[in-house]
Amino acid sequence: MPNSTGKNSGTRAARLRADFSDPAVDAVFNAYPTPLKAKLKALRRLILATARTTKGVGALQETLKWGQPSYLTPETKSGSTIRIDQVKSAAGQYAVYFHCQTGLVDTFRELYPAKLRFGGNRCILLDAKGELPRAELRHCVALALTYHLNKRKATR
């Protein structure tokens, strides 16, 4: 893929960028109320950065699932889908959603009982007025993006 200098970079970062040009996903981000839009875009950047630095994840795909921005690992199939969205029933809240049958949220609850808030067994709840708990979220996102990879290693 040509970079800004017109040369073929061939890097994984270039592939990542190519997967994030879906107009439907952009439209969802643009439709969020301004305060939530900034928070959700920061969360998106955290997910992308975590994927780039987590061994075994490979290229990340951004798409819509249930109308929510979703992040998948189709190249390596290393992870469980991560979705992000505003919490429609609670103004000023947004969440990171995980597959409820993975047990990931139970793991996060054990790791960060005082640092994170949870919605049942499916999400981490965040307040738009609060600071993003970056270190904890990076760890949780990395665990989700390597869920199947770690599960395969455990069965060996």
Q: What is the pLDDT of residues 102-135, one digit of tens each?
A: 999 999 999 999 999 999 999 999 999 999 999 9
CA distances (Å), origin 45, targets 6, 22, 36, 101, 137: 25, 16, 14, 26, 12
Query: What values do phi and psi take at 110, rounded to 5?
Result: -70, -40
The reported pLDDT for the residue numbered 153 is 63
Instruction: Please state the length of the chain.
Output: 156
Which residues are CB-neighbours of 153 under 8 A, at least 6 positions away?
none
- Mean of all residue pLDDT scores within the chain: 86
Least confident of 10-14, 37-41, 65-69, 87-91: 10-14
Question: What percentage of residues in the chain have a pLDDT greater than 90?
Answer: 78
The reported pLDDT for the residue numbered 115 is 96
**Taking a C-beta distance cutoff of 8 angstroms, is the pair 94, 85 a contact?**
yes
What DSSP line would sit under 24-78, residue for residue? HHHHHHHHS-HHHHHHHHHHHHHHHHHHHHSTT--S-EEEEETTEEEEE-TTT--
- Look at residue 83 and tell me whether its pLDDT is greater than 50: yes
* pTM for the whole structure: 0.84
CATH fold label, 23-154: Aspartate Aminotransferase, domain 1 (3.90.1150)
